[in-house]
Structure formats: structure tokens, C-alpha cells
Amino acid sequence: MAERDGTGQGLKPAVTLFVGVYLLIQVTIPLLLAPGPAQKQFGWQMYSTAESRSYEVVLSDGSLEEVDPSDYLLKNRGDIRVEDQLANAICSRNRSAVGVVVTDALDGTPRRYSCAT
């Protein structure tokens, strides 16, 4: 343990070391995790792709109409999959809907959901 000489100089190297190690950890861990998958729950990139999906309702005449997820969700989080529940909500709110198309903006893959009649 560092000796105190009344000037506070004995603790200064220990505090400096602690702050230095703390800052090093705060920088190193995110840099090591950066190349990993973006949508990992509780990860530091957890909200980076919150708007990564688009929603379109397929109407009975075959036309597509874009749907704003914020009309159905209080907060759209990219790490939580809500496509199934949101498709059901879109179908129940729009009587002329026959389906919902959810497109992932990261890879362009569309998923199609049918509305129960």
C-alpha cells in the first residue's frame, strides 16, 4: 500500500494506473467486438440497425402500400424480431389486406405473410 506523506502524492500513481486501465478497457472491448454481428442482443451495436426492415401491405387488388412501423410500435428496436406480430397487426387493421411483405434492408430478402381471411 502506498504511504501517505501528507501531500496526497502517495495515492497519485495508483489513481493514475486505475484511470488508465479503465480507459484502456473502455476503448479496447468495443474495438475487439466491432467486426462481430451487428444485431447481437445486449451488444454495443444493438441499436445500430433499428430501421433495417421495411413493411408493405399487399392489398386485394395486388398493389403494394408501404407501412410505417411506428404506427404500430412504440419503439422499433433492431434487436427484437417483431415481424410475425407486426404482420398480424397490419392485417387486422387493414381490411383490404391479403398479405404483408417484410424486406430486410441488410440483405434484401423479402418475407411474405398471408392475412387470415
Q: Is the pLDDT of residue 99 over 70?
A: yes
Q: Is the pLDDT of residue 90 over 60?
A: yes
* Region 82-107 average pLDDT: 89
Q: Is the pLDDT of residue 3 over 70?
A: no
* Region 102-116 average pLDDT: 87
Residues 56/98, Cβ–Cβ less than 8 Å: no
d(CA 71, CA 92): 13
pLDDT digits (tens, 9 = 90+) for 39-69: 555 555 555 555 578 899 999 999 999 999 8
Q: What single-letter DSSP state applies at residue 99?
A: E
Residues 3/11, Cβ–Cβ less than 8 Å: no
* Region 68-95 average pLDDT: 84
Instruction: Specify the pLDDT at position 104.
Output: 83
